[in-house]
Amino acid sequence: MSLPAFAEPSPGGVVLHALTHYEPTHETDDPGPLGRWSSLRPVRGPQLTLVGPPAEPVAPTPEVLGRLVCHVLEVLDGRRSVTQLRTILSDPAYEALLTRLRMTTPGRRHRLRSLHTCYPTSTAVELSAVIEVSDRSKERPRIRAAAIRFDRVDDRWHCAVLRIL
């Protein structure tokens, strides 16, 4: 949009002036030199570079997920510090693990009996686990269930939900 070189003051008292270096000239007699895009010669070489679709994020394997669950169980056993898992746990999952750690009686052993994985989307992995909790004073171990969800945030997988039932 171009404006005349001088404009009448508007009711607000603003006067607009053309910027000589930025505004096009209003002379129609001389079209001026043609720009660099006026060449009628065909362009040589490739015009477009074809790019494939972005790669889907690679979900962790069940073996890697099993190791992560075992790390959580080692925290509950007292064999691993909870701060070692801080980088992979979201804030709610970290708080849930701290709460579970405060409620766990010392001397119990947690063992992963089975792990089932589900990949609902390319950026989420859901796990259901069966955990055996044995107490040294009791003969029969107790069976617990766990629900865990890993979400992909940027380039890393974070544990978004950690529930031991």
**Contact criterion met (CB below 8 Å) for 25 and 33:** no
Count of domains forming the chain? 1
Residue 146 to residue 162: CA distance in whole angstroms: 7
130: in domain: yes
CATH of residue 96's domain is 3.10.450.50
Task: Give residue 81's domain range.
Answer: 62-164
81: in domain: yes
88: in domain: yes
Residues 15-44 have pLDDT tens digits of 766 666 665 555 555 555 555 555 566 667
- Cβ contacts of 149 within 8 Å, gap of 6 or more: 124, 125, 126, 127, 159, 160, 161
19: in domain: no
Write the Ramachandran bin of 58: left for phi over 0, alpha for psi from -120 to 50, otherwise beta: beta
Question: pTM for the full model?
Answer: 0.62
Is 80 exceeded by the pLDDT of residue 48? no
3: in domain: no
89: in domain: yes
16: in domain: no
Residues 67-97 have pLDDT tens digits of 989 999 999 888 899 999 998 899 999 998 9
Specify the long-range contacts of residues 75-81, CB closer than 8 Å, at least 24 apart.
75/101, 76/100, 76/101, 76/104, 76/108, 76/110, 77/108, 77/109, 77/110, 78/106
Residues 120-141 have pLDDT tens digits of 988 899 999 999 998 877 778 8
Report residue 154 as tokens.
Answer: 């940027």
13: in domain: no
Residue 120 to residue 118: CA distance in whole angstroms: 6
**Contact criterion met (CB below 8 Å) for 90 and 118:** no
Task: Give the strand order in the sheet containing 109-121.
Answer: 109-121, 124-134, 142-153, 156-164
Q: What is the pLDDT at residue 18?
A: 67
CA-atom Rg of the chain in angstroms: 33
